[in-house]
Amino acid sequence: MLQFLIDTLLRASDLALVALGLSMVYGLVKFPNIAHVQYAMLGAYLSFALRAAGLPLVAAIAVACVLTGALTLLLHLLVFRRLLKSGPAITMIGSLAVSMLVVAVMQGFAGSFPRMFNLPVSAPWQFGGAMLTPLQATTLGVSLAVLAAFCGLLFYTRMGRALRALSSNAPLAAASGLNAEGLTRGVNFASGALAALGGSMLALSSGAHINLGHDMLLPVFAAAILGGLGNPMGAVAGAVLIALTETAVTNINFGPLLQLLGGQNAMVFMPVSYIGAASFLMLLLALLFKPYGLFDREVRRV
């Protein structure tokens, strides 16, 4: 049971930062940016390249986050802000085109072979029958620290109150004297940096590869929709629910159920490839029964 909890938290930390950034941007510009998951892939590759160039790991990830955030802001200013004049549907299609372009450019530079970080190997910690490596503990701790810092910023600072006001009623917030354009630019930069951080944390264990963004697309969007698009902390809660579902799919022993149906007594587990199906199922159920998300009060008010 403890290992199940650890695996769920690790998977949730992989998704939460990217889903958080996606939901932040949606709350201000009101369109689902499909290219957002590719910022995570880009951040992973930049972290690897900077690390290979000789920068310390922490500095490499930090610079990669800044560079990815700057690119995210640039795309918002040059592409998405113009597309928004034609409506959110056109902008979403444009974000798909941007996503494909980012993948094509990165594949041209880095190829399709995964890039593995050269990190020291250390024995896992064992407690209560569960195992956790120092690297996993570090990535989990970083994700929790960033989420705690963002939560404090959002709910206990003047800037956080301004962001929530702008997300709830942008015209009224702008009429009240808030710098709507400046806040939107800052959120776009921060969302790209968070996505790059999430992608870099994931790449430390799985490597930077061209499909990293594609693999995160469905679970990240499912998490954001479950929490209510535009509700950043709801997206984090949605990431935990998606992680719980995905972990359960591959950890539940279906042997006793098959035995009741007349099968043999054996341990039967779902293949890892069914993780994607779990995200599809959660997304479908959310769209059918809670299309505004589980935490939809703020989203409905928008």
Q: Is residue 264 included in any domain, yes or no?
A: yes
Structure-token pair, residue 20: 């958080």
- pLDDT tens, position by position, 77-87: 999 999 999 99
Per-residue model confidence (pLDDT) at position 296: 61
Task: Give me the CATH number covering residue 14.
Answer: 1.10.3470
Place of tokens 């995200």: 279
Q: Which residues contact 266 (CB under 8 A, 6 or more apart)?
A: 255, 258
Give me the torsion for CA of 196, 201, 207, 213, rounded to 10°: -40
Rounded Cα–Cα distance for residues 269 and 255 (Å): 8
State the total domains in the chain. Answer: 1
Q: pLDDT band for position 301 (50/70/90)?
A: very low
Question: What residues make up the domain containing 100?
Answer: 2-118+133-301
Q: Is residue 68 included in any domain, yes or no?
A: yes
Structure-token pair, residue 121: 């190997």
DSSP secondary structure letter of residue 126: E
Q: Is residue 127 included in any domain, yes or no?
A: no
- pLDDT tens, position by position, 168-191: 777 777 777 778 888 899 999 999
Give pTM, 2 decimals: 0.88
Q: Is residue 244 included in any domain, yes or no?
A: yes
